[in-house]
Chains A and B, each alone.
Chain A
Amino acid sequence: MATVLETHGLTKSFGGVLAVDDVSVAIAPGEIVGIVGANGAGKTTFVNLVTGYLKPDRGRIIYLGRDITAHPPREVTGLGVARSFQIPQIYASLTVLENVLIALAAREGQSLRAWAPLSTRVREAEGLILLEPFGLTEHAARPVSELPQGGLKLLDIALASALMPRLLLLDEPTSGVSSAEKFGVMDTLVSILQARGVTVIFVEHDMDVVTNYAGRVLAFSEGKILADGAPGVVLADPAVRKAVLGWA
C-alpha cells in the first residue's frame, strides 16, 4: 500500500537528550492520526522533523515516495505538507483576512508578484469561505492583534488549511480554544479535510478530542512510540495511560 508519510529510524537529540529516538512509522492516505504523550515526549520535535524545521541526527523521512529528509520547511510545504503550531504563528500586524489572502497567494505561487494586487475579488471570496468553518468570517477585517487566544489558534489552523495540503500536521489544535467551540470547530474541520482526502496528523492533549476524531493513535514516551493503533485500544493501554496521563 502506498503511504503518504514514512519515517525510518528518525532520531534527534538536544545536548545529549534524545527527543526523538529511532521512530519508524508509516501513514496511509486519508488517515487521521492522533499523537499523544506527556510534555517532552517528543511530539512537537517529531512534527518539526517531518516538516523540516529541524534536521534529524539519523533516519529518513519519505513523503509520497520521495525522500524529504532535512529538506527545509519551504520545500516540504511546496510538496503539499502544511502544519499549524502549538504557539500560533500568524502575522500579527495584519488583518485576519489579509493573513489568509497571503496564504492563498502563496498556494497559487504568486507570493513574489509585485504589481498585481493581493486582494482580488476572487481571492477575497475564497478567503471568506475558508474562514467560515473557524467562525472567523465576522472578524475578517479586524487586525489579528484584536483576536482572543482561541481565535489566533484557529487562524493558525486556517492558514495551514488554506494551503490545500495533502498532509496536514496540527500541533495541539484545540489548546487555548474554549471547550464550547472545540468540538464544533473540529467537527467542521475534520469533515472538510476528510472530504478533500487530506491526511491529518495531530498532536493533542485532550483525550476526548483524540478519541472522537483520530482513526489511529501514536503514543509517544521519551522519544519512542510506545503504542500505535486504534484509539480505543491505545488509550486503554495502562502503560500508555501511565506514560501519557501520569496515572493508570
Chain B
Amino acid sequence: MTVAVVILLDGVLYAAVLFLVAAGLTLVYGVMRILNIAHGSLYALGAYAGTSLVLVYLKTGGPAPLMYLALLAGAVVAGAIAGPLVERLLLRPIYGREEVVQLLVTYSLFLILEDVMKLLWGVDPYYVAKPYAFLGTVTIAGVRYAWYQLLLIAVALATGVLVSLAIRGTRLGRMIVAVTADREISATLGINVGRVYTLAFTAGAILAGLGGALVAPLISVAPGISVEAIVLAFAVVVIGGLGSLEGAALGALIVGITRAAAVQLFPEIELATVYLIMVAVLLFRPRGLFGEWETRRI
C-alpha cells in the first residue's frame, strides 16, 4: 500500500517536472511547426538565471519567502529576452524552409547557447538549496516529502491550465489557433503572423526557463543539463503527440509513473524507461497518443 502511494506520488512529482520542461517545446512546435533543439538550452538558461537571482537576493538579506519571486523572475526575464531575440534573428529567415534546415538552425543555436552560458556563468556548478528546504516537509504514507515538491505539482498544473485557458479564452490565443491551422489564411485575415510567432516562441522560451528555474533548487546547475533536458522533453512530447499540450501532460504522467514504479520495483531498468515507452508508443501510434497525420495539399 505504502509503495503504491509512493509510486503514484513520486510519479506525479516527476511528471510535473517533465511537463514543465516539455510544455514549451510542444507549444512552439504546435504553433510554428519548428522543433527547437535549443529548448534544453533555454531550460538551462532559466535554471542559471533563476539560481543567480536567488543567490543575489539571499545576499541582500530580504525576507526569505520573496526568494521564490526572484526564482521565477529570473526565468521569465531570461525567456523574455532570449525568446524574441532568437525568433527575430534566427528563426524568421527560415520559415518555410525544409524541416531539416530548421532543425539544423536550432541545433546551431543549441551549440551557441551552450557556450554563451559558459561565458556568462563559467563551468562551476551553481547550487541554491534554500527554496527547496525552506517550506519544510510533510509526511505522506510514512514517507517525508518536501513541500516544495508538492508546490511543483501545483505549479505544473497551474501552468498547464493557464496556458490552455490562454489559448482558448483570449484573443491572442485564438489568433494562435488560427495561425496554427493555416498560416496563409490567417495572414489574409489580417492577423500579424510574425507577431504571433514571436509571442508563441517567447512563451515557449519562458516556459522552458520556468521549468529550469523550478527544478534548479533540486539539482546543481552546471554545463550539461541542457543536453539531457532536450532528449527527455522530446521523448515526453513524442509519446503524447508533437504539438499537443494535453499530450505532453499525459506523456509526462505515463513516463513519471512508470519511472517511479521502476525505481521502487526494478531499479535496473530505470535508465531506459522513458525511451522504451516512447518506442513502444510509436510502434502502435506513429504520431504519438494525441498526434495527427498531416496531408499535403496537391
A residues with CB within 8 A of B: 48, 53, 85-87, 89
CA distance A11 to B114 in the complex (A): 55
Chain A residues near B298: list those with CB within 8 A: 48, 53, 85-87, 89
Convert B283-298 into 0s and 1s, putting 1 for each residue whose CB lies closer than 8 angstroms to a CB of A. 0000000000000001
Convert B64-107 into 0s and 1s, putting 1 for each residue whose CB lies closer than 8 angstroms to a CB of A. 00000000000000000000000000000000000000000000
Chain B residues near A89: list those with CB within 8 A: 298
B residues with CB within 8 A of A: 298
Instruction: Kindly provide the distance from the CB of B296 to the nearest chain A CB, expressed in whole angstroms.
Output: 10
CA distance A179 to B298 in the complex (A): 24
Instruction: Kindly provide the distance from the CB of B227 to the nearest chain A CB, expressed in whole angstroms.
Output: 34
CA distance A87 to B298 in the complex (A): 7
CA distance A89 to B298 in the complex (A): 8
CA distance A78 to B212 in the complex (A): 53
User: A85: nearest residue on chain B (CB-CB)?
Assistant: B298
CA distance A53 to B298 in the complex (A): 9
Chain B residues near A87: list those with CB within 8 A: 298
CA distance A166 to B298 in the complex (A): 23
CA distance A82 to B298 in the complex (A): 15
Instruction: Kindly provide the distance from the CB of B298 to the nearest chain A CB, expressed in whole angstroms.
Output: 6
User: A53: nearest residue on chain B (CB-CB)?
Assistant: B298
User: A44: nearest residue on chain B (CB-CB)?
Assistant: B298
Chain B residues near A86: list those with CB within 8 A: 298
Chain B residues near A53: list those with CB within 8 A: 298
Instruction: Kindly provide the distance from the CB of B8 to the nearest chain A CB, expressed in whole angstroms.
Output: 40
CA distance A89 to B296 in the complex (A): 12
Instruction: Kindly provide the distance from the CB of B66 to the nearest chain A CB, expressed in whole angstroms.
Output: 51
Instruction: Kindly provide the distance from the CB of A213 to the nearest chain B CB, expressed in whole angstroms.
Output: 24
Q: Which 6 A-B pairs have the closest CB atoms?
A: A85-B298, A89-B298, A87-B298, A53-B298, A86-B298, A48-B298
Instruction: Kindly provide the distance from the CB of B295 to the nearest chain A CB, expressed in whole angstroms.
Output: 8
6 A-B pairs in the complex with CB atoms less than 8 angstroms apart: A48-B298, A53-B298, A85-B298, A86-B298, A87-B298, A89-B298
User: B297: nearest residue on chain A (CB-CB)?
Assistant: A87
CA distance A86 to B298 in the complex (A): 7
CA distance A86 to B297 in the complex (A): 11
Instruction: Kindly provide the distance from the CB of A166 to the nearest chain B CB, expressed in whole angstroms.
Output: 22
CA distance A53 to B297 in the complex (A): 10
CA distance A41 to B298 in the complex (A): 16
User: A47: nearest residue on chain B (CB-CB)?
Assistant: B298
User: A54: nearest residue on chain B (CB-CB)?
Assistant: B295
Instruction: Kindly provide the distance from the CB of B19 to the nearest chain A CB, expressed in whole angstroms.
Output: 31
CA distance A48 to B295 in the complex (A): 12
CA distance A43 to B150 in the complex (A): 59
Chain B residues near A48: list those with CB within 8 A: 298
Instruction: Kindly provide the distance from the CB of A40 to the nearest chain B CB, expressed in whole angstroms.
Output: 14
Instruction: Kindly provide the distance from the CB of A94 to the nearest chain B CB, expressed in whole angstroms.
Output: 16
Instruction: Kindly provide the distance from the CB of B255 to the nearest chain A CB, expressed in whole angstroms.
Output: 34
